[in-house]
Structure 1
Amino acid sequence: MTDSPVDQPLTILIACDTYPPHLNGAAQFGYRLARGMHGRGHNVHVLAPNDVDGGSRSDLEGQWPVHRLRSHGVPTHEYWRICLPWEIKKEITLLFDRVQPDVVHIQCHYMVGDYTLQEARKRGIRVIATNHFMPENLDPFLPFPKWVKRIVAKNSWKDMGKVMGQAAVVTTPTPLAAEAMHRHAFLHEVMPLSNGIDASVYELHPGEEIAPHPGPTVLFVGRLAEEKHVDVLIDAVAKTPAELGVRAEIVGGGEVKPALQAQAQRLGLGDRVVFRGLVSDEELREAYLRADIFCMPGTAELQSLVTLEAMSASKPVLLADAMALPHLVDKGRNGYLFTPGNSDELAGRLTEILELSPEDRQKMGEASRDMVDRHSLDATLATFEKLYRQAEPEAVRP
């Protein structure tokens, strides 16, 4: 692709290995990227695995086409789908013939991202690659001993470098993630670029009133997977003073949900730990606004969009001191970090914040909201737009 005039709409093909209705950060980013670029006047196409059994298909009823590739479920995950090379390579080639993209933006180095990149390079089309992946994300789905998982992780990093190293530009949400890609995938030029968020979505509208929970409530949102360590949060709730009556609201589904429900019952928390399952966008927004604190105990977060959403709703946060989460905490101002896996420390911090006056908790929430401004979705979209047009952005935000 040659440099395009700044006022000329582009045809953008966004290739995702996970996309809604999947519930995870990478899927949500792919959707928001498509929506944002469509809103900026570009011709957007999304390529993703089929979310159900059956052949490839194109969904043309939405605001932008979503092309679904033949995929297969995996026994160790409730919704993850994989595509087989011999079933999708020809489909990708035919899609390029129809769509004729000006630029391709891959979201992963696995099958869909890999083969879309290869087809783009054959045709001389510019490719941008964004990584949302950590090898730890795979651990719960691999029924192997740890030494085998270490080999898989090493090979995953190697494959990431091999695939994404062919892109014109590689991005990832945080400087810490960029450093990990440099160290493990040997990618020497990785641009830290926030996934971005429209904070106004999670603020109260003028005149809007949403009643708080009757008792103090800590919220978790995300996939119920091993690396999220929601069990640590449940243990911490059990260790808070009984007179506080702390509740936990857990939004999301996943493979460890039955074990977490059993844990809550075993600890006598059946009426204090509420599993909401998958909820609508409006129900999720309301959950953020009703909660007193947001907690993310996960240890494999490249950015954590759900934490940014909670901060946009002006909530104090308690986050594991792992991966990119420390970037979202100003200690004592908008919340605290805690040692990963340490439920005693988390319980102490929960108690500390919930014993503050409502006014002091509100100040912590306001500090969270202030911190979100540097993660503006508009700025992220503008930067990607410049990269699509082969222009260097003026500044890169961590």
Structure 2
Amino acid sequence: MSNLRLPSGQQVRVVIFSSLLLLAACGEKPQQAGPGEMKVPVSVVTVQPTPTEIVVELPGRVEAIKDAQIRARVNGIVTAINFEQGSEVKAGQLLFTIDPAPYRAVRAQAAAQLQRAEADAKSARLLAERYSKLIKANAVSRQEYDNAMAAAGQAEAAIAAAKATLQTADIDLGYTKVDSPIDGRIGKSLVTEGALVSATAATQLATVQQIHRVYVDLTRSTAEVAQLRQALASGALEQSPDGNAKAQVVLEDGSIYDQAGKILFSGITVDPTTGQVNLRAEFPNPDEILLPGMYVRVRLQQGVDEKALLVPQQALQRTADGLSSLMVVKEGKVQVVAVGVGPESKGNWIITKGLNAGDVVIVEGFQKIRPGVPVQEIPWKQQGAQDGNAPAQAAPGTPGAKQEAGQPADKAPASEAGSKG
């Protein structure tokens, strides 16, 4: 008992102070940042007015500049094919031979009829000349003289008819040799030797097409034509510097055909069944890459929008009902803005309404955001931009995500689409 010592006053004070600190620490709750206060990093671009050439892309069909269907013009048996299928042919070159024997016989008969008509006419002329002398001496009646003159006239008419018959026979005989009407490339033969062809049915024998230059026929809705005219009239669009509408063909593999074309005309009537206007463009085709019947897409220059607002294609959001929207950053938070979308330009969409110059548009990072969420803005830098498809406002590409230039926004992954609402 003698070894036990009571704590001093200083020790008691230390123990009490420590206990109070411990109780205060136990009573405090740990502070955690709420979800609304966390800033999600997103890649953004700031849109600015950019002079942009407006281009519209339309489907078209290639047509040969000249297309001649070779058809039979007489009845008969094909005795010879005088060309190599798929080769180049010249105008007047012999292509097919139809058995000429029946037509030679008809021509010989027509020639004989002409000779007979000429002989009859000679006799009638001599009789008319003799009666013209006798009538003066009243050696023949007036009736006999009139009959002789009429017979002479009929004989001359018979000669003219015989000549026409002979000419027809010559024409038919000439049709037994089928020539090419134009220079061009001939396709396959649609008949063989020994085939019976008919002029009545106009049997097709082959086709010759001239394709060193080709047409591409296009259609455009009247609404689009009216919008273009209004934009040009209001000054929203300016005509291209040269004033000529140029055209480019986009091939099936997405590459651009290396020969530029020009618009020949725009239709002045509207197809009542489709409500569309017909257009035709002409393209050089020296290597015969564009073939008749081929479907292509044609890019037409419309003019220049001096104040176009461009956003990368992947920034555009599309809903199930077909509406378009963008996610923008305003006062540090995400907002969804409904927008009107114009044509595509080098991997970007032209926004026609709903967006203002200086707006900050989110390009990537949709998975973790929703309207009202605070975000941290990171400049968008697209990597691997090709074919000049970089947006005008920023260098192309995003950290941590890749998307091919020109990929439509409605191709976004399902995880992104599910987090946009």
Q: Bin the TM-score by the shorter chain.
A: under 0.3
Whose helix fraction is larger, Structure 1's or Structure 2's? Answer: 1
Whose strand fraction is larger, Structure 1's or Structure 2's? Answer: 2
Give TM-score, length-normalised by structure 2.
0.22
